[in-house]
Structure 1
């Protein structure tokens, strides 16, 4: 395993008195509740954006959403539809509130965070459908959201990054689609078959281990054959030609670190521009721990800047 950053080691030591519950040992509700406790490590939420909760009404269902807009922004601004991480099982508008606020303020972006349906109650392709349909909804309602319809991105972290990438590369097949101008991925899970070498190399990593990763995939993809679908796993696509340019930030000590590297390489081989950055010594989802990890704060700032640059 790679060398963990000193701040990460210090954080893990401080948390060692209360080791995280393994998801298979507790109820789904308890596992989700434990994840929400990490919000305390995210850092102080910015007050420099206007925040509003609402619902996105889709066919036969409604999903929760939260809008972030920089205070004082005038007219339609570039927009980002954001999908939170959490292994398809947990995560919420609250767990990623601070991150979305920073993307909005630092990037000058209107961020729409989507609370898609979670597993195991909802399995593939429900979350993927929510992501795709929510992007269409935001594009169709861009005027009332005060978003520039011609400057729309999708973004997400971990499992949410799979939803973002799947939307980015899949939306071209829909008639009269709004265009995804950019995709932003943080520590993405992009291969549901878990074929990346890093899954073995960093199988005992903190924050996300191989057993927890495998358990999470089992909850959302109970049908093993679905995991090889290019609709599900963007890395199953032979070519990514025509996909929007990407900003991809990953962590070194992470079972899915190779997913980010493979995706960036496939984009480049397909003639698509991508900016890839791996943070040495960092574990999965380190940017959600920006209140205690300096690299997490730097990653958020860099990600906001790069994604904004693709939209402005």
Structure 2
């Protein structure tokens, strides 16, 4: 791990010691400030239009770079455990992706728990897909669905929602996706959940906190929209690329999804990056390894968007 990342983790620990009982708003502000401070630099020449999604309090933001290609679009769902993150937090990243790909990006600012518990987020994802195809006028095969962490899970939900309507997206490109909220008893941690339980940015214990704030009941974790690997029709997924951070407690969730997709005949590629932590898109300003991993993600988006 790079020294800059060790310094970041030490700073986070010091902040936690200074405020051992943060409010939910404190945590949301810290997540936003960290993402803006450590993430991509601001790209100013990007048009931004923020629009309401009918029938929900969610919004969708269209990021348009100069001379944007009109035919294709990236649909993006953010991470934050269904509790943190929003369009402001991810604004610089959204601008950066639009700039680097030369295509529009539709950022879905879905409702968060605990104010709006499951299944509000997947409901908003489905509404956003329907809006893009029925109102905004996008052809399903011209939409690349992407997202990070919890947003990676919502990207899977969206692809299956679309496929059930016979509207297969062009592809799915997922960043360290969270695909299984059936968390084990704390004594039964295994694999990446155990090896990277602490001191690697996302901590295993935090996953229980996210679930407590997002799920309306423990049984909700058995719903495929919360634990996507339980979906009965994973074979309907479009070509899928999964980019994982190997020093991440949920790395094994991405691996499991890739294995299940392959077993069902889906064209899937899984790549894990050593030397990076969960949420490596947030760390590009301070980590060479994160910048390299993010660059390969952008390369894949460009390649998929450029295919005819």
TM-score under structure 2 length normalisation:
0.89
Tell me the CA shift for residue 21 of structure 1.
Answer: 7.8
Q: Which residue of 2 aligns with 1:31?
A: 27
Shift in alpha-carbon separation, 1:8–1:170, aligned structure 2, 3 A: same
- Equivalent-residue separation in structure 2 for 1:20 and 1:84 (angstroms): 28
Shift in alpha-carbon separation, 1:108–1:31, aligned structure 2, 3 A: same
- Equivalent-residue separation in structure 2 for 1:198 and 1:123 (angstroms): 27
Which of these residues, 157, 165, 168, is aligned with residue 166 of structure 1? 157
- Equivalent-residue separation in structure 1 for 2:128 and 2:232 (angstroms): 26
- Equivalent-residue separation in structure 1 for 2:266 and 2:45 (angstroms): 34
Report which stretch shifted further, 35-44 or 148-157: 148-157
Shift in alpha-carbon separation, 1:65–1:296, aligned structure 2, 3 A: same
Q: Deviations over 1:13-32 (max 9, x none)?
A: 4555433788x932222211
Tell me the CA shift for residue 11 of structure 1.
Answer: 3.0
Q: Which residue of 2 aligns with 1:69?
A: 64
- Aligned pairs for 1:57-206 (under 5 A) are 57=54, 59=55, 61-74=56-69, 76-143=70-137, 147=138, 149-174=140-165, 178-194=167-183, 197-206=191-200
Q: Deviations over 1:198-229 (max 9, x none)?
A: 22222114321111111101211131111012
Q: Which residue of 1 aligns with 2:187?
A: none
**1:282 aligned to 2:271?**
no
Tell me the CA shift for residue 149 of structure 1.
Answer: 4.6
Instruction: Choose between structure 1 and 2 for higher RCO, CA contacts under 8 A separated by at least 6 residues.
Output: 1
Tell me the CA shift for residue 239 of structure 1.
Answer: 5.3
5+ residue gaps, structure 2: 185-189
- Count of residues in correspondence between the two structures: 300
Q: Is the 8 A contact 1:247 1:303 kept in 2?
A: no
Shift in alpha-carbon separation, 1:62–1:17, aligned structure 2, 3 A: closer
**1:230 aligned to 2:224?**
yes
Tell me the CA shift for residue 81 of structure 1.
Answer: 1.5
Which of these residues, 9, 14, 19, is aligned with residue 12 of structure 1? 9
Q: Is the 8 A contact 2:74 2:145 kept in 1?
A: yes
The residue matched to 2:15 in structure 1 has which SS?
coil
5+ residue gaps, structure 1: none
The residue matched to 2:58 in structure 1 has which SS?
strand
Report which stretch shifted further, 80-89 or 94-103: 94-103
- Equivalent-residue separation in structure 2 for 1:223 and 1:297 (angstroms): 38
Q: Is the 8 A contact 2:129 2:162 kept in 1?
A: no
